[in-house]
Amino acid sequence: MNSGKIALIVMSFLLVGCQTTGNQTEFKWHVSNKIDPFDDSSKCQISTWNIKQGNSFAWRTANAIYPLVEIRKGEISIGLTRPPITIGNTKTFIPIGTAQMRIDGMASWTIFPSETKIEGEIDNSYMQDLSKVMKGNPNINQEAYAQMMKNTQMSAHQLMSPSTMASGSKAIAILDQMKSGTNLIFRQSSANIKSDPNKISLAGFGEALKKCGI
């Protein structure tokens, strides 16, 4: 394939992504129930990104972000997510960063990456090697150093997550507003860079919640 054809394909991909990103009101609330094949835990997700449509949908909306409600092990998480860019068998996940949500005219919510819970185990083998190196240094508080390394590793995973999610009482408060609200606006908001807000209707959100047992 020559360079001209490749450039045309890439340009078409970007244009399709841009066209679908700004028109979120067309999408309806969808529900997806999943069972983790490794620990058999169930997870119910609600979003305007139709998770069941899979790769082709992610391709057509490669640069879009979506609101996401997730119920896992009885705990509710709410925030924004971005579906992976899928090319062939390869999936590329792009981080969200700081997320902002606002329901109708109520006060807006800001959700930071540090609030996102990371599922699964984190490899800390390299931390053990560093601890051995630092162990003989009397000027270093070993316990504080170990905690600092653990926090740094967790922060890196949170910053790279394709979803930024609040949980606990904050998630419940946002959920209550969404259940009684009419419209939701949301955007990425990191430092001095703020994306254009997306607006979607909350019509049908209550019915989607019922399918997740809420």
User: Mind listing the pLDDT tens digit for each residue in 109-137?
Assistant: 999 999 998 776 666 665 666 666 666 66
pTM (2 decimals)?
0.73
Nearest to 71 by CA among 104, 23, 33: 33
Residue 128 located in a structural domain: no
Total domains present in the chain:
1
Instruction: Residue 203: give the domain boundaries.
Output: 3-118+161-211
Residue 171 located in a structural domain: yes
Residue 134 located in a structural domain: no
Q: Which residue has the higher pLDDT, 58 or 202?
A: 202
| 124 φ/ψ angles, rounded to the nearest 5 degrees | -120, 25
Amino acid 81 reads: T
Looking at residue 6, the DSSP 8-state letter turns out to be H
Q: Which stretch of 9-18, 93-102, 146-155, 190-199 has the lowest confidence by average pLDDT?
A: 9-18
Residue 141 located in a structural domain: no
Residue 129 located in a structural domain: no
Beta strands in 82-205 (DSSP E): 85-87, 90-92, 99-103, 109-111, 163-167, 183-190, 193-194, 198-201
CA angle at residue 41 from 62 to 44, to 5 degrees? 45
Q: What is the pLDDT of residues 26-56, one digit of tens each?
A: 568 999 998 988 888 899 999 987 555 444 4
Residue 125 located in a structural domain: no
Q: What is the CATH number of the domain that holds 10?
A: 2.60.40.1880
How far is residue 97's CA from residue 80's CA, in Å, rounded to a whole number? 9
CA angle at residue 108 from 52 to 69, to 5 degrees? 20
How far is residue 140's CA from residue 31's CA, in Å, rounded to a whole number? 50
With a pLDDT cut of 70, the percent of the chain lying above it is 70
Q: Is the pLDDT of residue 89 over 80?
A: yes
How far is residue 116's CA from residue 154's CA, in Å, rounded to a whole number? 10
